[in-house]
Structure 1
Amino acid sequence: MDNLALIESFGDFKDEKGISKIDLMAIIEDSLKTLLRKRYDSDDHFDVIVNPDKGDFQIFLNKMIVEDEMSEDDDLEIELSEAKKIDESFEVGEEYTQEILVSQLGRRSVLTLKQILSTKLQEYNNAALYDEFHDKIGEIVVGEVHHIRNKHVILLDDEGNEFILPKENQIPSDYFKKGESIRSIVESVDFHGSKPQIILSRTSPVFLEKLLELEIPEIQDGTIILKKVVRIPGEKAKIAVDAYDDRIDPVGACVGVKGSRIHGVVRELKNENIDVIQWSKNPEIMVKRALGNVTVNKIEINEETKYALVYTPVEEISRVIGKQGQNIRLATWLSGYEIDVYREKREDDDVNIDEFRDEIEDWVIDEFKKVGLLTARSIVDKDTDVLAKLVDLEDETIDDVKQILKAELDI
């Protein structure tokens, strides 16, 4: 096999992977030098010339001319008498350059070269894949579900590139079927061994940002600015928006008529509840808006510690905190202030027992509700031994509940 035929034997692979002729020639040159180092321990005595225009290459071996019977390495040295048969003018100490065909290196070397070239081509493709998707970190990609496993889902795009969507990066209510097309963002690209591993996410706030850009043209063209996005995947999200033009209502533009613009995003996120608020430089206004449509009487801001104390009527507490504390947590993330709630009470104030589900287990609260004990005072006003006869709970559990309720009522 001559040099040109060797290159042509890799032509199909080159076309399939879309490698340019120049890149292929560079890979061939590197592969040839690797082969020479394996065969001769060094490529110092060789010149490799690759011609991308002709699609060919040449290997030249530079031999040192030595006195007769003084050659220690016939591969790298040539005796004077042999050199003079080629050219009478040669002298000891000069170099003689000889072209080497790959076929002269032996069949085993040709097979080795093919293996090296194949490895180099794979390395090239892996590097190209890494560069391509490293530049797409934070961008949406679409993949078809190929395999569903316990800890992750494997997706393939139209080019056959493999993506991994880990369980922790899936929305809790995500349910995938083989062959289904899934949208996600590229979260990270790292080498796993010699192959790049592309990790996707559907739980990142960036995924929500990119979905909003797709659905709302004003965000895409910069008319509306996404100031901040926070979310508890599959449950609730809050986004703060602003507009360069005061005549534009950024919240209305994002939500659309009857929620038409944001509905597609909500559906993609498995009915994640999305609150859209207008961003403000004023921290009090920002905290109030971040908490949503709740009654707030006063807000005390500590700029130094980034702390906000919110004064709210006792009947508003459950709405301020939200289900499992989601509302106040998201408002804290969105505003950048650690939000605490001061419960404004009157002497006759009482609190519905359901508002303590963050501190008391659901089944315990349900035991009290079964016997009509629906408020904090209805429980703390009774002795533990009386309550023990009414509910199927241990005395110790009842005392713990009463302690929590008394702390709330300042008793």
Structure 2
Amino acid sequence: MINRDLIEVFSDIAREKNVERSELATILEELFLYVIEKEYGDSSNCSCIVNLDKGEIEIYSEKTIVKEVDDYKVEITLEEAIGKEPDAEGDLDVGDVFVEVIDPRIFGRRLVTTAKQFFAQRLRDIERNYIYEDYINRVGEIVIGAVHQIQGGNVFINIDKTELRMPRNEQILAERYRRGDTIRAVIKSVEFTSKGPDIVISRSDNHFLYKLFEMEVPEIEDGIIDITAIARHPGSRAKIIVKSNDRRIDPVGACVGMRGSRIQAIVRELNNEKIDIINSSEQAEILVSRALSPAKPVQLFIDDDKNYCIALFEDENLDAAIGKNGMNVNLASKVTE
């Protein structure tokens, strides 16, 4: 019923956008129903069948046979019905349902213009759905992309024409980003909005640090070593607690690596963020003492019921215990919660 060339044009566009043939057929069916609704105000009595292999599109409209037509969109006279289907003259009567075949050519040039607009919009919708389905299953993964633009405090990163957003609160504040910079970050969340998927990435999230260790330390990826807690002041300092599931392996040494190779790679990625690696302990006193490193407390008073601890230090160790702007003691508190 319709020129095969039109379907081939749409098929070529769909292939460029990686749209499956089954979805293309659905789009074309929706397209013609949309054109009918735009032309007549209603398409509820119409149906469309697309055969991509034959290059055919058939459109049908169900109408009730009446003596006098009040609404030509859903009604037809017996004479008109017989005129369209002469072979069915003896089988048709007033009150019957008549299926009329609609020739797409009646829409004229409007069909081409409307088709292009509708098809482009539906392809955008499908692309957005593909992107959403892809990235929603990748939350927690590390990705690498190039900075596309910086606007309103957000850093926008492109990966294979997909735009990801790093808000100000997910950035390492000491870092400065420029267009074209290559950035590594963790996918934090994916939400579907009216403008498409909003894919938020982060360099300040604790999970980013966890994934970096997982990449650099095979024992963590293999489950031999566990990171049980992380506390960060992104770009400045972090403390992590590690635990070995194999007595033969030192978790701190494994994370540091030969001559510090593993930890140095992570520190460089985080703009020289200092990282304290703490060996886990079942004894609260030992764990808290290790967490307060580099300072060594003289005495600890721990109230397990109130989850509270008082640490006493020598005067010369007090500054190191507190840290710059209270950073050391705050991180120690968070990582041992």
In the superposition, the TM-score normalised over structure 2's length comes to 0.91
- Map of 1:206 onto structure 2: 207
- Map of 1:180 onto structure 2: 181
Instruction: Return the alpha-carbon distance in structure 2 between the equivalents of residues 183 and 148 of structure 1.
Output: 16
Instruction: Return the alpha-carbon distance in structure 1 between the equivalents of residues 182 and 294 of structure 2.
Output: 37
Instruction: Return the alpha-carbon distance in structure 2 between the equivalents of residues 101 and 122 of structure 1.
Output: 28
Distance 1:73 1:107, change over 3 A: farther
Distance 1:241 1:55, change over 3 A: farther
- Map of 1:22 onto structure 2: 22
SS of the counterpart of 2:184?
strand
Q: Which amino acid is the alignment partner of residue 320 of structure 1?
A: A
The Cα of 1:55 is off from its aligned counterpart by 5.7
Instruction: Return the alpha-carbon distance in structure 1 between the equivalents of residues 3 and 275 of structure 2.
Output: 64
- Map of 1:41 onto structure 2: 41
1:236-280 superposed Cα distances (whole Å, 9 cap, x missing partner)? 011111121122111110111221111110000011100111222
**Where in structure 2 are the equivalents of 1:134-283 lying within 5 Å?**
134-149=136-151, 151-157=153-159, 159-283=160-284
- Map of 1:382 onto structure 2: none
Instruction: Return the alpha-carbon distance in structure 1 between the equivalents of residues 294 and 178 of structure 2.
Output: 38
Q: Which amino acid is the alignment partner of residue 314 of structure 1?
A: D
Distance 1:54 1:238, change over 3 A: farther
Task: Check whether the contact 1:4–1:57 (CA below 8 A) recurs between aligned residues.
Answer: no
Larger radius of gyration between Structure 1 and Structure 2? 1
Q: 1:112 aligns with which of 86, 111, 114?
A: 114
- Map of 1:81 onto structure 2: 79
The Cα of 1:62 is off from its aligned counterpart by 1.2
Q: Which amino acid is the alignment partner of residue 287 of structure 2?
A: M
**Where in structure 2 are the equivalents of 1:65-80 lying within 5 Å?**
65-67=65-67, 70-80=68-78
The Cα of 1:27 is off from its aligned counterpart by 2.3
Identity rate, percent: 38
Larger mean CA deviation between 58-67 and 230-239 belongs to: 58-67
The Cα of 1:228 is off from its aligned counterpart by 1.5
Distance 1:251 1:55, change over 3 A: farther
Instruction: Return the alpha-carbon distance in structure 1 between the equivalents of residues 152 and 118 of structure 2.
Output: 37
Q: Which amino acid is the alignment partner of residue 26 of structure 1?
A: T
The Cα of 1:52 is off from its aligned counterpart by 5.2
Task: Check whether the contact 2:146–2:180 (CA below 8 A) recurs between aligned residues.
Answer: yes
- Map of 1:334 onto structure 2: 335
Q: Which amino acid is the alignment partner of residue 139 of structure 1?
A: E
Q: CA RMSD for the aligned pairs?
A: 2.1
Does residue 59 of structure 1 match 2:59? yes
SS of the counterpart of 1:97?
strand
- Map of 1:32 onto structure 2: 32
Q: Which amino acid is the alignment partner of residue 8 of structure 1?
A: E
Moved over 4 A (4+): 52-56
Distance 1:141 1:56, change over 3 A: farther
Q: Which amino acid is the alignment partner of residue 57 of structure 2?
A: F
SS of the counterpart of 1:281?
coil
Distance 1:299 1:42, change over 3 A: same
- Map of 1:380 onto structure 2: none
Structure 1 gap segments, 5+ residues each:
337-411
Task: Check whether the contact 1:47–1:59 (CA below 8 A) recurs between aligned residues.
Answer: yes
- Map of 1:95 onto structure 2: 97
In the superposition, the TM-score normalised over structure 1's length comes to 0.75
Structure having greater relative contact order (Cα 8 Å, sep ≥ 6) = 2
Structure 2 gap segments, 5+ residues each:
none
**Where in structure 2 are the equivalents of 1:277-356 lying within 5 Å?**
277-336=278-337
